[in-house]
Amino acid sequence: MENNTNRYKKDRVYIETYGCQMNFSDTEIVSSILINSGFSICDNPDDADAILLNTCSVRDNAERKIHERLIHLKRYKKQNKALVVGILGCMAERLRKNLIEEKQIVDLVVGPDEFRKVPQLIEDARTGTKGIAVKLSRVETYDDIEPKHTSGVFAWLSIMRGCDNFCSYCVVPYTRGRERSRGLESVVQEVTYLREKGFKEITLLGQNVNSYKDRQSGEDFADLLAACAKAAPGIRFRYMTSHPMDMSDKLIETMAEYDNICKYIHLPVQSGSNRILDLMLRGYTVEHYLGRINKIKELMPECSLSTDIIAGFPTETEDDHKATLRVIEEVGYDGAFMFKYSPREHTKAYAMEDDVPDKEKVRRLNEIIELQHKVSKNINEKEIGKSHTIVAESPSKKNPQEWMGRTDTNKVVVFPSLNGTKEGDLLNVKINGCTSATLFGEVF
């Protein structure tokens, strides 16, 4: 028996990740847990003994993608009867039994707070026992686990898990559970370790990072950000995601104070109508939101801004929609993630009639996207002639002679590569062209 167990432990696991940065960061944690248990991670599903899908539930189309992928995976399982297929993350928590009972192909289902059980559940699946582990925890933060970083230059660092905001449209508090923060010291230790290993950029991650709190000392997100910036002066720090209610003056002042905190804020507005914001249970008004934006612009005029917007929330009228368009113009976002409202089971908004017809949602969404592209293009055009320091990220997908990197303000710059350009190079570029999504430049 023991021999068998050892054999399974050499198994190769392929993990496919869907959804937000938190999921990509979670995949690095699961990979590390598996490697520590003797498994290896492979990057081709054809070579795998186990295929795990780390899933997202935030919108219906994210879940649909997973169901389609499971149909494909049936073929793999026909060719390799011993193949283990597992669902991790938000969908696991949401659909539990359905996935195992209805989708005969799924062997294990593991929610975001039970990743430590993945190795055992893969082994159980190899001996024919299907397993479910979807309990949510009030304490699990995986802070003792060193993620298996996919890059040696850019690191995700998850500082908190879950969310207590319960926005009426959002399934996250139900799939990822209650909010809990890692200790400040443990985060700073990890930052110091990453600096010693030669990392150049760290993104602090959480569903709502600005409500971060060290339980023992009471220190908040601004304190944490300052402690990280001080501990690793050579590293650029970014963070995701912020909530407008918790975007304090202290945090904005801290960002302005440290050169190595990137001047970029993702601040989801969701809607420009106070009536809709109220129904969304966002806890702020458009006036409060714009006040935060003004404070950011006052202290950091160079700071770039992005947002999330939902089109077609229940009862949204043409006037509400127009109010959203006005906010886009008034703020002048550098970029935005724009979505059609998608009703999610368990949420408060699910009880409301989804009364904006799909065709109308699509029309409003397209109008939002079109306006945002125009705004981004105008902002990017102002970058032409300016210089930026960027960190080289990867060869450009379209042209292998070119590379891409990001400015401090999170703008993608594509540039002709030099001889020997490599990931992590700090380069000075002069911008000479743009689209709404990309800047083009020359290294100097």
Tell me which residues touch ligand SF4 (CB under 6 A). Answer: 163, 165-167, 170, 172-173, 207-208, 243
Question: Mind spelling out the 3-state secondary structure of 9-72?
Answer: HCCEEEEEECCCHHHHHHHHHHHHHHHHCCCEECCCHHHCCEEEEEECCCCHHHHHHHHHHHHH
Name which of 153 and 163 has its Cβ closer to ligand SF4: 163
The entry of ligand 5AD, ligand SF4, none that residue 313 binds, CB within 5 to 8 Å by partner kind: none
Name which of 62 and 231 has its Cβ closer to ligand 5AD: 62
- Residue 192 falls in which region: left (phi positive, over 0), alpha (psi -120 to 50) or beta: alpha
CA quadruple 345, 85, 125, 114: dihedral sign: negative
Cβ 387 vs Cβ 429: under 8 Å: yes
Name which of 23 and 192 has its Cβ closer to ligand 5AD: 23
- Of 210, 408, 409, 240, the C-alpha closest to 337 is 240
Name which of 26 and 219 has its Cβ closer to ligand 5AD: 26
For the beta sheet containing 335-340, the strands, ordered from the edge strand earlier in sequence to the opposite edge, are: 264-266, 304-311, 335-340
How many residues does the structure list for the chain? 444
The entry of ligand SF4, ligand 5AD, none that residue 208 binds, CB within 5 to 8 Å by partner kind: ligand SF4
Amino acid at site 261: I
Cβ 260 vs Cβ 236: under 8 Å: yes
The entry of ligand SF4, ligand 5AD, none that residue 165 binds, CB within 5 to 8 Å by partner kind: ligand SF4
Cβ 227 vs Cβ 184: under 8 Å: yes
Name which of 17 and 242 has its Cβ closer to ligand SF4: 242
Name which of 52 and 251 has its Cβ closer to ligand SF4: 251
The entry of ligand 5AD, ligand SF4, none that residue 341 binds, CB within 5 to 8 Å by partner kind: ligand 5AD
Give me the least distance between CB of 208 and ligand SF4, in Å please: 5
Amino acid at site 130: K
The entry of ligand SF4, ligand 5AD, none that residue 59 binds, CB within 5 to 8 Å by partner kind: ligand 5AD
Name which of 160 and 170 has its Cβ closer to ligand SF4: 170
Give me the least distance between CB of 355 and ligand 5AD, in Å please: 15
Give me the least distance between CB of 20 and ligand 5AD, in Å please: 6
Contacts (Cβ under 8 Å, ≥6 apart) of 442: 415, 416, 429, 430, 432
The entry of ligand SF4, ligand 5AD, none that residue 163 binds, CB within 5 to 8 Å by partner kind: ligand SF4
Q: Which residues bind ligand 5AD (CB under 6 A)?
A: 58-59, 169-170, 268, 270, 308, 310, 339, 341-342, 344
The entry of ligand 5AD, ligand SF4, none that residue 339 binds, CB within 5 to 8 Å by partner kind: ligand 5AD
Helix ranges restricted to H, 37-160 = 60-79, 90-102, 118-126
Give me the least distance between CB of 28 and ligand SF4, in Å please: 20
Name which of 346 and 386 has its Cβ closer to ligand 5AD: 346
Give me the least distance between CB of 163 and ligand SF4, in Å please: 3
Q: Which two structure tokens, joined as six digits, stand for 25?
A: 């960061």
- Of 184, 115, 178, the C-alpha closest to 145 is 115
Give me the least distance between CB of 207 and ligand 5AD, in Å please: 9
The entry of ligand SF4, ligand 5AD, none that residue 344 binds, CB within 5 to 8 Å by partner kind: ligand 5AD
Say whether the peptide bond before residue 324 is cis (omega within 30 degrees of 0). Answer: no
